[in-house]
């Protein structure tokens, strides 16, 4: 599984990254998380608002930070 958190150093982006890392840790997927902070990477992925979360290349959320249980649910979804 490939988990990408898109965001800069804004407060919501930091929250999203921390929550994603915690959710991934709970599921044993912490090595799958990548922090994507380059604007070029965001544009290439079609990200128009941060923070954003992509799982296996599919954007799951954009423009808001999720809490840990919501991220766990996304990671468990088929």
Give the residue numbers marked as catalytic.
10, 13
Q: Please list the residues that pair with 35 across neighbouring strands.
A: 5
Please tell me the distance from the alpha carbon of residue 12 to that of residue 64, in angstroms, as a whole number: 7
Contact call for residues 15 and 66 (beta carbons, < 8 A)? no
Helical H segments across the chain, by residue range:
11-26, 39-45, 68-76
């Amino acid at each position: 599984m490939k988990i990408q958190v898109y965001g800069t150093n804004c407060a919501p982006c930091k929250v999203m990254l921390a929550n994603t890392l915690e959710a991934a840790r709970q599921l044993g997927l912490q090595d799958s998380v990548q922090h994507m902070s380059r604007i070029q990477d965001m544009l290439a992925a079609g990200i128009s608002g941060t923070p954003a979360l992509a799982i296996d290349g599919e954007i799951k959320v954009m423009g808001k930070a999720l809490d840990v249980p919501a991220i766990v649910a996304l990671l468990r979804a088929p």
